[in-house]
A = this chain, B = another copy of it.
Amino acid sequence: MSEPRDPASAIARRELLAAIGRRAGGAAMWRAMAALGVAGSSSYAGPVDLQGAPRGTRVLVLGAGMAGLVAAYELRRAGYAVTVLEYNRRAGGRSWTLRGGDEYVELGGERQRCEFETGLYLNPGPWRIPYHHHGVLDYAHRLGVPLEPFIQVNHNAWLHSKRAFGGRPQRFRQVQADFNGQVAELLAKAVDRHALDQAVTAEDREKLRAALRHWGALDAAGRYTRGEASSQRRGYEVAPGGGLMPAPVPSQPVALDALVDSGLWRHLTVGHEEEFQTTLFQPVGGMDRIAQALYREVADLVRLGVRVTAIGQDEQGVRVRYLAADGPGSIAADWCVCTIPLSVLGQLELEVSAPMRAAIEGTAYESSVKVGLQFRRRFWEQDERIYGGISYTDLPISLIGYPNSGYGQPGRGVLLGAYIWGPNAYEFTALPPAERVRLALRYGAMIHPQYEREFEHGIAVAWHRVPWTLGCFAAWSDEARAAHYDNLCRIDGRVVLAGEHASRLPAWQEGAVLSALDAVTRLHARIKGA
């Protein structure tokens, strides 16, 4: 990728591609582009197309989250006789959206009723879809689920630290402009002082200086100072207006020491991470739309409200015992795709090999808490001009997420008032839901004082108290991955596992989808080869 090529070869390449396009069509051309390195690479090779299942072969799918729904959808298309058992009285699993009227009972018996206004919602689980999560996006596209941009980086949102700038939140754009500007100024200085002559040739030094001046918004003297260049990035003290409104006044950058000391630079690169890069998506109306679209395709195969208690197998097949509303029962099948979270699966009666059992028991689950808060009005837009995106803080709530839809509309709005991790999540999980909401309000009011006046209703989901997952997602350490991952994913007799826990994309729906596609593809090959 780094070696420059001569223009002639670039032209030859374009002509080759155009010729392939003309003769063999777009898909062939794209494969050729990928081979030539123009396209990106992905683990997702496109929709699977399994065919020719042996007549009457029964596959039991446990769990109707994203992995279970995808497995059921593809296995049925391949010709298998599929049954899905799901603990909840709804499909979707963690691809879950809470709306007005929904009730949720957590472990311990606390019951919450969501009172959000129609059209408002909280996604307690996943809430964004990266552009390169091709598996999830392809299902959304094929099933006609409309998507809209999820704003990850909002330059006008706040970065906040309780110990920096007197607890006063700073605009993202100002922290970014000042950090970049001062990094550029320092590096330009170092280049000028010949401190980097070993690393940068004389010719490149001049080009690097020009790049830094442009990139860092430096003045002609190579300094990052109060002026038009810096204000066009960080914002003006008095913005340019129309007619005879006051002339613009530039704003004053923050000094490097205060900035470095503040720690707010930690938040500048979230949007640089591939998983949070533009263009990020959310389904219009709530994250559960994709799972629900898949569910509509396989609803006739799914039995809701069925709690699996034991998974047995021998050389002939699998037998699963369960508890349903009408009492205990059991079901037999030839094969089983099990998508039950490891945190729950490890507590069941389970006949699998010792290595798979060790893998199931060797994987911890991450703790997390989300709090949704409904307010009387969208004050973050009306007062603070924050349209979508996220404010970050070092308070236990860690962030405040603004709705990425309904921009500028009058009426109520729901914020993600907290997305809590680590030790803070354990503390919040230990509290009753009303207390979690109260704390989220107290912390959030340090960034948005309007909280106190505008708050109406909150709901809090602590993932370690969600009865059907007992945690948020599989927290793989490098050691656990090396010791257990392959054993977890291998077909074990007549059982294969799938879900985000059986992927290298933990927590993401894409992990669940790719894991399910990989599991059913291998299972199908095994069955066909048997």
Contact = CB atoms under 8 A, between A and B. Distances in A.
B196 A189 contact: yes
A81 interface: no
Chain A interface bracket (under 10, 10 to 19, 20 to 34, 35 or more)? 35 or more
A395 interface: no
Contact of A242 (B239, B404, B454, B516): B516
A274 interface: yes
A239 B132 contact: yes
Contact of A503 (B190, B243, B275): B243
Interface stretch (A260-268, A327-335, A459-467): A260-268
Contacts of A257: 201, 204
A58 B409 CA distance: 35
Given A29-B450, A201-B257, A239-B41, A490 B244 contact: yes
Contacts of A252: 1-2
A252 B392 CA distance: 31
B154 A204 contact: no
Interface string A141-175: 10000011101011110000011111111110110
B140 A502 contact: no
Contact of A166 (B5, B39, B151, B511): B5
Contacts of A281: 387, 407
A475 to B, nearest CB: 15
Contacts of A235: 40, 132, 274
A156 B277 contact: yes
Given A6-B166, A383-B39, A515 B242 contact: yes
A90 to B, nearest CB: 24
A504 interface: yes
A453 B22 contact: yes
Contacts of A438: none
A232 B273 contact: yes
Contact of A164 (B4, B165, B173, B189): B4
The 5 closest A-B CB pairs, nearest first, are A5-B166, A242-B514, A43-B241, A195-B195, A243-B518
28 contacts: A1-B252, A2-B255, A5-B165, A5-B166, A6-B166, A17-B449, A21-B452, A26-B379, A41-B237, A132-B385, A147-B407, A149-B151, A156-B278, A173-B277, A179-B211, A183-B187, A183-B212, A186-B187, A189-B196, A195-B196, A215-B269, A231-B274, A233-B274, A242-B502, A242-B517, A242-B519, A243-B515, A245-B518
